Amino acid sequence: MGGLTWGYVLKRVGMWFLTIWIGTTIIFLVPRLAPGDPVAAMISRMSAQGGFVENADQLIAVWRARFGLDDPLPVQYVRYVLNSLRFDLGYSLSSFPSRVDEMVFNALPWTVGLLLLATLISFVAGNTIGALMAWERTPGWLKGLLPVSLTFTSIPFFMLGILLIYIFAFGLRWLPPSGAFGRGLQQGLNLPFIGSVLYHGILPAFAIVIASMGFWALGMRGMMITTAGEDYMILAEAKGLKPSRIFWLYGVRNSILPQVTALALSLGAIVGGAVLVEYIFAYPGVGYLLYLGIVNSDYTLIQGIVFMLIFTTATLVFILDLIYPLIDPRITYERG
């Protein structure tokens, strides 16, 4: 199995289960430690929208019994863990009778489409910029220009999003300030709808790319500086290889491994959405759904989204750990 051993694989499987179990336990406890009652909050919203709600106390008691909120905490926990093992995310407390899995899977394509593309663009651009900043053969004018591209990295996502909305939506009126597609369009695989989705996704994607690009660039720059003095780099130059070949196959390839690990964590976190970005742009993704769940004290919705986040992140890290020897042959898990 290359540089792997069966003992190491079994150990990593055990760690994968342990990570998911600890994560699910924490997300079960945290919403219940917060003040407020989700059912009472739902009745309050109904009262605010439609006036007086008759027999509110009885209605609260019935709904609490329906969702098992009156059961002892250990009973709720065991039921929650068993449902999680079956990927049964239950019903939403604030949007009953909608199921959490249906709500998440309806929002997931929007989040994945936005964040996957933005993360990959940021990863490629940031690592390229970082490598060029550390490469001694990079032209001086380019070395002076590259740091300018990282100026906005210190600005948080949501602040950058507000700035972009002000400039491009309200100032220049080039792009829409919010939403995922235009009104009156038929959703599906048709050119008008796809074009509208891409058009509405420019600003939120741009905010994510600009704000996260510096993270990749700074990390790659540090790794490239460390790699520059290695013997294989000196040997490659002594052999007279092309500078571009030395840069990509010897420098970037041997510096990219920690960045790939960070990319796996970033891709795993995609299912959690970019909460503040999606909220500011009113983008119907998982992040916006999680925001609504927190505001409405919707235990099941919060638990379902965060459980998927923990599961995908742990799984991607597990897979990446197993394929490390394929990425870098110097890595081996075999005992000497």
- 103-285: CATH topology: MetI-like fold (1.10.3720)
Q: What does the alpha-carbon distance between residue 320 and residue 262 come to, in Å, rounded to a whole number?
A: 10
Beta carbons of 31 and 299 less than 8 angstroms apart: yes
Beta carbons of 203 and 165 less than 8 angstroms apart: yes
Give me the residue label for tokens 């110097």.
330
Per-residue model confidence as pLDDT tens digits over 173-206: 999 998 888 887 777 778 888 888 888 889 998 8
> SS3 of 153, please?
helix
**Is the confidence at residue 22, as pLDDT, over 90?**
yes
Mean pLDDT of 108-117: 85
Alpha-helical (H) ranges within the chain are 6-33, 38-50, 56-66, 73-85, 100-134, 140-145, 157-164, 191-228, 231-238, 243-245, 253-255, 257-268, 275-280, 286-295, 299-327
**Is the confidence at residue 333, as pLDDT, over 70?**
no
Q: What does the alpha-carbon distance between residue 38 and residue 40 come to, in Å, rounded to a whole number?
A: 6
Where are the CATH 1.10.3720.10 domain residues in the chain?
A: 103-285
**Is the confidence at residue 336, as pLDDT, over 60?**
no
Cis peptide before 258 (omega within 30 of 0): no
**Is the confidence at residue 109, as pLDDT, over 90?**
no
- pLDDT bracket for residue 2 (50, 70, 90): low
Per-residue model confidence as pLDDT tens digits over 257-306: 888 878 877 876 666 657 888 888 888 888 889 888 888 878 888 888 88
- Give CA 316 to chain center in angstroms: 12
Structure tokens at 44: 């309050």
Instruction: Look at 127 and 153; give whichever has higher pLDDT.
Output: 127
| pTM, rounded to two decimals | 0.75
- pLDDT bracket for residue 45 (50, 70, 90): low
